Structure 1
């Protein structure tokens, strides 16, 4: 199979940007070529031109395209300092302010679920059972969402979960499932997984959120798309709610003006009007 042409790469790149806001620069051409080649062979197609025609005639293939070209890297308690800040600063503030004993958080770009389940564990540990705690977990990639909903992880994936939490919230596999850990139902019920496109105008959110984790996602968007998403996040956060970004991400000074206050390493608080 010939390598992807400049014309087809630009077509795929434009399509991805229009649909989900992800920017694929020229340096990603080799990655697109490699991943799409596998998809083309699986479909029994001849080349990239055939694939573009197939895309045109089969809109459902867009889901597979997003799954193929989006990158998913995560683990439990990733960037632990953020979870420390959540437990030491955010959750005590929520507890002091909440009369209704309801806590809502969002793991945006949740990948295979490790971040969402980490958040659910921490909320479960911090609040007693009289509190209504829920985590919304969303991603564009249906394959990783399916894995997240199953909640089954290999031993190497749970190595950063403290032992006492591992035994409390995970069921150890036996027999043919030896070496696997399954999230217990009491934790699963705290997390709702949904497919969602951050580039869409409306998000599937009804309640105001206490915090949003959207880490290592903005690196795939250009400034214009980032700012649109930030405005939507701002709308869905309660006054003085918190936004957690990835270690290499930030809100620029102009965009922060009157809206966000930097309170910790890549943690921003929504300003009261």
Structure 2
């Protein structure tokens, strides 16, 4: 049986220096490239772990490695390093779009012990909740101007968009190559009407970030009803707002991975790790702007 691989030699040359070193004592790690290919194949196809092709080795190895590297922050560090390199090369468009998407959860995602694990930063609800579509998880994300993910946060499916905005902005941290303070402030943030809250506008204004967010009809009516006490309407650039489709294209690229479009992981930790791996491969493919 032949399987389609996702990591080219050029991509592996970028990833390999970022992988954990072999332990000083004990058994050596299994081949890192084969392990990453195994994890990518599982989430790209949406297949169960036990159906992993034998070319990738034991499924337990890939599954345990996914969780271990999620717990110790390896996936986040690799993602941050890839972003740092892209920023140093001038490859990040700092007109950032923010949005969210709901992903259905398979019945296999339910049943994890409540309470989470503090040492793993696992949320108590495992980022699972019930929305109109049933059991689901919501991905809140920020995308650069070329439809590539910059920051991702997962919550329960019924969670609102606006309350998660500050968490998404806090997750946006691009390290500097010289070791200075990471860049956390985009030039412009574009979002839809769900983010038209006074707290969000104040947050962006306080950080000197331009907000391009339309007002809902009810907010406009309320301001007009108050007359002069309603103040001036917030600035809005219709031309810049057209670039919000970047985050929609970014979501479409992530949902090409069937294991992300429908969650089967019991732990939010594992699901978030798979999101980071998908994001890393999207950046390393070097196909900006195409879903």
* TM-score, normalised via structure 2 length: 0.26
- Structure number having the greater strand percentage: 1
Highest RCO, 1 vs 2 (Cα 8 Å, sep ≥ 6): 2
* TM-score, normalised via structure 1 length: 0.27
